[in-house]
Structure 1
Amino acid sequence: MTNLISVERLKKRLENNQDNTVIVDTRFKLDDEDAGRKLYLESHLPGAVYLDLNRDLSGKILKHGGSHPLPDFPNFIEKLGNIGIDEDTTVVIYDEGNDMFAARLWWLLDALGHDKVYILEGGYARWVEEGNEVTDAIPSLKPKKFTATFDEDKIVDMQTVREKLDTDAVLIDSRAKNRYLGDYEPLYSKAGHIPGAKNYPWQAVLSADGKWLKGEELQQHFSDLDKNDEIIVSCGSGVSACVNIIALKAAGYENVRLYPGSFSDWISYDENEIEIGED
């Protein structure tokens, strides 16, 4: 997958003092919103800056829009510039392991047209496992001017999803199967899934040893999907869906869009139906 960078490759990049690289720590826990920032302050990769899912990678929660709505893009673009990112900067993102929060930032940057963005394979955990240095030093940042425009074609809203239910478009639900089926729902007031959605849990694009699927394994994973289909990817709030989007694009699927509000937005409309169990 061209969207990944190995620990060894990043280490060599840092050793060669390639100063047009910004490393971003995105560690986060949904059940403890301060945990990621605390982990960063304790130790992080040398030179890394921290972006928080709630404070930085999401916008204000309203009645509709889901529990992690997209950020206000003019403010987000300015924030990226303030931490040293512009359109020519190489951005390396890491999570605790191969987790969903790095994928969220990757997707946001991709939607802004940035094409030099990589996720660290194995994340912080693998960096440490391989004996590399970490630090608690907060880097000094050199602000830049990031000129970018959000590509609205990367997303669909609730009304579009509703209209697509009776078409050939494929709606993917990226949550764990028990949440998709409605057997378990720890976060929302309603359980189940959007009618017609197919379940492709985001963690299934990772192998048993925690690496991203590649090549034939990745092709096989999505083999029931036609590459000519329009694919809309959702989850609970538009975060873990980004993992599936990265994997789909790596597998050669081009007509892929995100439903940012996902299930948490869908259920905010009382008139929307919900399915329980298998189709």
Structure 2
Amino acid sequence: MRGLISTTEAAELIGVGAAVVLDVRWRLTGPPGRADYERAHLPGAVFLDVDTDLAGPPSTERGRHPLPEPDRLVAVFRTAGIGGSTPVIAYDDADGSVAARVWWLLRWLGHEQVAVLDGGFAAWQAEERPLTPDIPHPAAGDFTGEPGSMPVLDADAAAGIPGDGVLLDARAPVRYRGETEPVDARPGHIPGARNSPASAHLGPDGRWRPASELAEHFAALGASTGKVGVYCGSGVTACSVVLAMEHAGIEASPALYPGSYSQWSADERREVAQGHEAGEVAP
């Protein structure tokens, strides 16, 4: 089990207790997702908080959601009930980007059995599948993991990608162009980056677009082959680009810049660009 999982497939696994389910509902400007989780969630789902469970402490040097220390992250996943071979299903209530953060982190630690619920909470609810307010207390799992199974970039490496590859910015177009910036130090984007917003991954029904359509999307951006890096505001949403490229059948995993624009824009030595890049493809 890798990548995306349908509500039907997920229901089968959940119905027999064959998967750990993680609820990671979160919003950039709030309110926190825990209150929604406590009202209703998928049966057996464990809530993980992006800010405290799936990221290290924020700083101007590392960004708003830096990668957590591996040992602490392993402990979080063990507490959620994950074992070495446990299938994991992650969901959110937006475009799947936050769930993709869980997918990416587990893959980074070497865990292959993880998927994002296609359509997320909205699709599950629309199909009138079971929901509950009951908070589970799973037995601790025996998960172990070592970082390094997914490629990462630091700021210097990200700066060099546009010279001989493609750097993708997963934020909304208005933030990429620098027309607005709700949370980070300076509006704009990393020079040379092309916009590939996470919203472009979804179809009108809220589910992920077919692999063939996503392949065309990335081909138009020049990101089907060669060196590709991805970033967003803080390294969360960009994980969905990695997932979308894998779903599209692109063999090489793009490298994630975990510090992303929150780290970049806080460093006055780093240039920022605004508007579209030459050759930019409209999302």
Band of TM-score, shorter chain:
over 0.9
Aligned length: 275
1:43 aligns with 2:45: no
- Matching residue's letter, 2:167: L
Q: Which residue of 2 aligns with 1:82?
A: 79
Give the match for residue 188 of structure 2.
Answer: 192
CA separation of 1:175 and 1:10: change in aligned 2, threshold 3 A:
same
How much has 1:199 moved relative to structure 2?
A: 0.8
1:189 Cα offset (Å): 2.4
Which of 275, 278, 281 is matched with 1:277 structurally?
275
* Paired amino acid for 1:139: P
SS of residue matched to 2:22: strand
| CA distances 1:248-278 after superposition (whole Å, capped 9, x unpaired) | 1222331411001111111121111111112
The aligned residue for residue 280 of structure 2 is: none
Counterpart mapping for 1:232-251 below 5 A: 232-251=229-248
The one-letter amino acid of 2:88's match is: V
User: Structure 1 153/51 Cα, relative in aligned 2: closer, same or farther at 3 Å?
Assistant: closer
Name the structure 1 match of 2:6: 6
SS in 2 for 1:154: coil
TM-superposition CA deviations, 1:224-243 (whole Å, max 9, x none): 32533110001111111111
- Matched residue type, 2:265: I
What per-residue deviation string (whole Å, max 9, x for no partner) do you get for residues 136-158 of structure 1?
11112111221110117511101
Matched, 1:73 2:75: no
Return the alpha-carbon distance in structure 1 between the equivalents of residues 234 and 186 of structure 2. Answer: 14
Residue of structure 2 aligned with 1:24, choices 18, 22, 25: 22
- The Cα offsets for residues 105-161 of structure 1, whole Å up to 9 and x where unpaired, read as 111011111111011111111111111121111112111221110117511101222
Structure 2 portions without partners, runs of 5+: 278-283
The equivalences for 1:113-152 within 5 A come to: 113-151=110-148
Q: After superposition, give the CA deviation of every residue in 1:6-25 in whole Å (9 maximum; x if it has no partner).
A: 1122222233x2x3410000
Deviations 1:14-46 (A, max 9, x none): 33x2x341000000122125x201111111111
Tell me how far 1:164 sits from its aligned partner.
Answer: 3.5
2:54 maps to amino acid: L
Structure 1 segments, 4+ long, off by >6 Å, are none
RMSD (CA atoms) = 1.7
Cα distance in structure 2, aligned partners of 1:116 and 1:153: 15
Tell me how far apart the structure 1 counterparts of residues 110 and 192 of structure 2 sit (CA, whole Å): 31
Structure 1 CA distance, aligned partners of 2:50 and 2:183?
Answer: 16
Q: Map Cα deviations across residues 35-80 of structure 1 (whole Å, 9 max, x no partner).
A: 2011111111111100001010110112311111111111110111
* Counterpart Cα distance in 1 of 2:126 and 2:133: 18
TM score, norm. by length of structure 2: 0.92
Q: Give the Cα separation in 2 of the matches to 1:100 and 1:121.
A: 11
TM-score (norm 1): 0.93
The residue correspondences of 1:92-171 to structure 2 (distance < 5 A) are 92-151=89-148, 154-165=151-162, 167-171=163-167
Q: Secondary structure at the match of 2:213?
A: helix
Counterpart of 1:24 in 2: which secondary structure?
strand
Asked if the contact 1:155–1:258 (Cα under 8 Å) also holds between the matched residues in 2, the reply is yes
Query: 1:54 is matched with which residue: 33, 51, 56?
Result: 51
Instruction: After TM superposition, give the deviation of residue 223 of structure 1 in Å.
Output: 1.5
**Residue ranges of structure 1 left out of the alignment (5+ in a row):** none
What amino acid is aligned across from residue 6 of structure 2 in structure 1? S
Q: Say whether the 8 Å CA contact 2:185–2:266 is kept in structure 1.
A: no
**C-alpha distance in structure 1 between counterparts of 2:253 and 2:211, whole Å:** 19
Q: Is the 8 A contact 2:110 2:149 kept in 1?
A: no
User: Does the Cα contact within 8 Å between 2:161 and 2:227 map onto a contact in 1?
Assistant: no
Q: 1:226 to 1:45 in 2, by over 3 A?
A: closer
1:207 equivalenced with 2:203 (yes/no): yes
Change (3 A) 1:27 1:251: same
Residue aligned with 2:219, SS = coil
